[in-house]
């Protein structure tokens, strides 16, 4: 393994300022009927109580469209596939504390424990998905009706093949990862080496990666993201 540079929990704590104006930015919901971005499915079934749409900030969506347009230059059958965006904070906490309960007795140092968990699921207070700025994406081949080879399935954490710099994958998969990262970086997304599919814009991870003094987006309540007249959305935890 080489060059993996996982952003740490303590790194994200260093970003404490947020831009209040940009945080007012609206959300959009995938899939949208356009020819560029595919919201194939809402990957987290626990979010189904809010429907199967994927919520992201509007700027994030516009950047995703640009990435998908660029993919056409490499292969006319390629589209950007988005499987996850906004996550309810209660789910973020649920996933975090499931691991916490299993490992808390193995650590004497709380910070070391948080860093260990953070590599598996972001510590809630610094998590990007609840801001609407983080996305999980892959490249989808419409002619083959499947995701191209990335060396592991998207959202599969069972092996270290999910690490961006994993060496136990084919040359084709390595090149596909490089292509996805190249295009996402061109649109100022921040990558995460622990998951080849995870990128973010505007959250603390993005601010840390690009050495910004403040993040653009705060974490948002799910009930403010998914609004429907006459109905209060609730989520099963």
Q: What pLDDT score was predicted for residue 4?
A: 62
Q: What pLDDT score was predicted for residue 228?
A: 55
Q: What pLDDT score was predicted for residue 232?
A: 40
Q: What pLDDT score was predicted for residue 170?
A: 96
Secondary structure (H, E, C), the chain:
CCCCCCCCHHHHHCCCCECCCHHHCCEEEECCCCCCEECCCCCCHHHHHHCCCEEEEHHHHHHHHHHHHHHCCCCCCEEEEEEECCCCHHHHHHHHHHHHHHHHHHCCCHHHHHHHHHCCCCCHHHCCHHHCCEEEEEEEECCCCEECCCCCCCCCCCCHHHCCCCCCCCHHHHHHHHHHHHHHHHCCCEECCCCCCEEECCCHHHHHHCCCCCECCCCCCHHHHCCECCECCCCCC
Contact indicator for 7, 128 with CB cutoff of 8 Å: no
Q: What pLDDT score was predicted for residue 34?
A: 76
Q: What pLDDT score was predicted for residue 30?
A: 86
Q: What is the pLDDT along the chain (237 residues), one digit of tens a residue?
A: 455 678 999 999 999 999 999 999 999 988 887 777 877 666 677 777 777 788 999 999 999 999 999 999 999 999 999 999 999 998 999 999 999 999 999 999 999 999 999 998 999 999 999 999 999 999 999 999 999 999 999 988 888 999 999 989 999 999 999 999 999 999 999 999 999 999 999 999 999 999 999 999 999 988 888 865 434 434 333
pTM over the 0.85 mark:
yes
Q: Tell me the CATH number for domain 9-225.
A: 3.30.1380.10
């Amino acid at each position: 393994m080489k060059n993996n540079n996982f952003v740490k929990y303590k790194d994200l704590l260093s970003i404490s300022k947020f831009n209040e104006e940009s945080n007012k930015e609206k959300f959009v919901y995938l899939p949208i009927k356009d020819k560029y971005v595919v919201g194939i499915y809402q990957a987290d079934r626990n979010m189904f109580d809010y429907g199967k749409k994927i919520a992201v900030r509007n700027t994030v969506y516009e950047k995703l469209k640009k990435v998908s347009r660029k993919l056409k230059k490499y292969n006319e059958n390629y589209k950007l596939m988005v499987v996850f965006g906004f996550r309810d904070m209660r789910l973020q906490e649920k996933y975090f504390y499931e691991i916490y309960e299993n490992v808390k007795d193995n650590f004497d140092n709380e910070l070391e424990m948080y860093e260990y968990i953070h590599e598996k699921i972001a510590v809630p207070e610094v998590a990007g998905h609840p801001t609407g700025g983080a996305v999980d994406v892959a490249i989808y081949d419409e002619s083959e009706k499947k995701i191209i080879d990335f060396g592991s399935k998207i959202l599969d954490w069972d092996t270290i093949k999910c690490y961006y710099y994993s060496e136990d994958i084919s040359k084709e998969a390595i090149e596909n990862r490089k292509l996805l990262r190249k295009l996402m970086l061109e649109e100022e997304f921040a990558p995460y080496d622990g998951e080849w599919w995870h990128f973010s814009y505007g959250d603390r991870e993005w601010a840390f990666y690009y050495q910004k003094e403040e993040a653009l987006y705060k974490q948002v309540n799910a009930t403010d993201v998914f609004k429907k007249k006459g109905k209060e959305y609730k989520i099963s935890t």
